[in-house]
A and B are shown apart, each in its own frame.
Chain A
């Protein structure tokens, strides 16, 4: 990988809430086409890291370079940065006052200033991709969890982001709905979308990602290719964490 296609480059990122140090000296980078999975125990700071990358939390120290520009700078327009770096949440966070189609159009029209016809065409394209095109008239409350999450993915994709962040996208779903969402994400990875995924689905992380980051107590304890992390972990904490998961 050459330096030019690095999209996000994180240097010495730390985050504290009051006196609680949640992230310590995080360093890693993401290049075009990377699928990075972040794994780790509950409370290890995975969500906080992702939220820092999207400026939903302000990093305490360190820098997040987006194409070389530090977005933690006060002068950076957070809203316009976020339109390039999408996010899919554990709880979907769909707009309850809009139907499926409007959910996927509003960002395009308000943020990207697309006209309604273009926004609609684009929204339908991505809804079709996640298999939700027949449901454009439904309100979020009328959908199942898996369907909501697929709409949320289509909403994020409709902004045509450079990177898409996923925070445990299947954790709030019933087991039978997990598959349909992972399937969509698998397809996106196959198409070369750059993704950073926090997940507890180890099989998915192993099969789909090309980079795995294992976090423990706010630091990156180990990172590498899926083969390195899953077949031959070096760190004692990684071994212990994975053995718990592999045993089921």
Chain B
């Protein structure tokens, strides 16, 4: 082993560079898939929890909705309220011991991260929906839109925009938290690093590399999401359509021709 810190890092990278990359890719894959599925779960749960119950709805509908909302509430509270590491042990090893279910390690990993993210996202989505002023819902109802149409066309797009920072947060947390999955044997970045560090007894160097990789991944994700956000916002200014809009029903053009204005005599 070289005497200098930089030299030791170089040696580790030469020998284990590919392992680090594979570990990082695993972490990233689990985080991305888990966050994506988690968002879908979160949206589904958040939407169901905000379905309004009207007085004139039938008793059956009210009861079914009540039971469903109770179950979803329990799901959210239980998964938010317990450590993901314990959930991983329970779900992966527990289901093996008790029900003789042998799920693949990877399936378990995606499942655990998704279901966890879903529990957090459900509350975020609920908050995002509630944050849209009810006036817009009334505006939509007043032109005859149904609850479903109002949700998909008006409320959810705005709620999604408002919770984008929260989705970013979840993604970043997931990139880092995949390390707890090493206890069910997933060889992600943390597991890889531990192995490398142990082999050469170079904890400081190996974990420096791991930290840098974690940081690059999270920082890149946060920048990409920022960019997406500003894209969703659209431009800050708008173009005035030409006066004769009816004549240009397909394709607008931007500003009135300068020359036309000059024709008008000034007096």
Q: Which of A83, A92, A93, A142 has the most CB of B within 10 A?
A: A93
Q: How many A-B residue pairs have CB under 8 A?
A: 108
Which residues of chain A have C-beta atoms less than 8 A from B33's C-beta?
A: none
Q: Contact: A137 with B142, CB < 8 Å?
A: no
Q: Which of B199-207, B214-222, B237-245 contacts A (4 or more CB under 8 A)?
A: B237-245
Contact in complex: A156, B142 (CB < 8 Å) = yes
B144-172 residues at the A interface, CB under 8 angstroms: 144-146, 149, 153-154, 157-158, 161
Q: Which residues of the partner chain A approach B138 to less than 8 Å between Cβ atoms?
A: 56, 89, 93
Q: Is the CB of A125 within 8 A of B238?
A: no
Complex interface: chain B residues within 8 A of A81 (CB): 144
Question: Which residue in B54, B142, B158, B240 is a CB contact (below 8 Å) of A82?
Answer: B142
User: For this complex, into which size category does the number of interface residues on chain B fall?
Assistant: 20 to 34
Contact between chains at A137 and B241 (CB < 8 Å): yes
CB closest residue in chain B, given A90: B135
Q: Contact: B234 with A139, CB < 8 Å?
A: yes
CA distance A121 to B249 in the complex (A): 7
- Contacts A97-B161, A133-B241, A134-B240; A107 near B56 (Cβ below 8 A): no
Interface size on A, residues (CB 8 A): 45
Does A96 touch B at the CB level, under 8 Å?
A: yes
With a 10 A CB-CB cut-off, give which of A82, A97, A99 has the most chain B CB atoms. A97
Is residue B143 within 8 Å, beta carbon to beta carbon, of the partner chain?
A: yes
* CB of B55 closer than 8 Å to a CB of A: yes
Query: When A125-B246, A137-B241, A137-B252 are in contact, do A95 and B154 touch as well, CB less than 8 Å?
Result: yes
- A-to-B contact residues, CB < 8 Å: 54, 56, 58, 74, 79-84, 86-87, 89, 91-99, 106-107, 110-111, 117, 120-121, 124-125, 127-128, 133-139, 142, 152, 155-156, 159
